[in-house]
Amino acid sequence: MMDLGKYAAEVISAWGISLAALAGLVWWSVRRDRKVRAELERTERDHG
């Protein structure tokens, strides 16, 4: 494990929060896209 010195807490928390936010954004976008695609297929089958 690398030594981040006296700013270790700041560096790790900044990176942790940022990467979690980016991963959450990607996950949410992909999940919503899949849901909407499936819903569109259903709707086109029923009403298209």
Partner 1 sequence: MSIWSYANPRKFLDTTAPWVPWLMWLSAAVLAVGLVWGFFFTPEAERFGSSVKIIYLHVPSALMAINAWLMMLVASLIWLIRRHHVSALAARAAAPVGMVMTLIALITGAIWGQPMWGTWWAWDPRLTSFLILFLFYLGYIALWTAIPDPDSAADLTSVLCLVGSVFAILSRYAVNFWNQGLHQGASLSLDKQENVADVFWVPLLVCMAGFVLLFLALVLLRTGTEIRARRIAALRARARRVEPVRA
**Residue type at position 38:** A
Q: 43 to each of 30, 34, 35, how far by Cα in Å? A: 20, 14, 12
x/- contact string, 19-48, with partner 1 (CB under 8 A)? x-xx-xxx--xx-xx--xx-xx--xx-xxx
What is the closest distance, in whole angstroms, from the C-beta atom of residue 30 to partner 1 in the complex? 7
Kind and range of the H or E element at 33?
helix 8-47
Binding site for partner 1 (CB under 8 A): 2, 4-8, 10-11, 13-15, 17-19, 21-22, 24-26, 29-30, 32-33, 36-37, 39-40, 43-44, 46-48
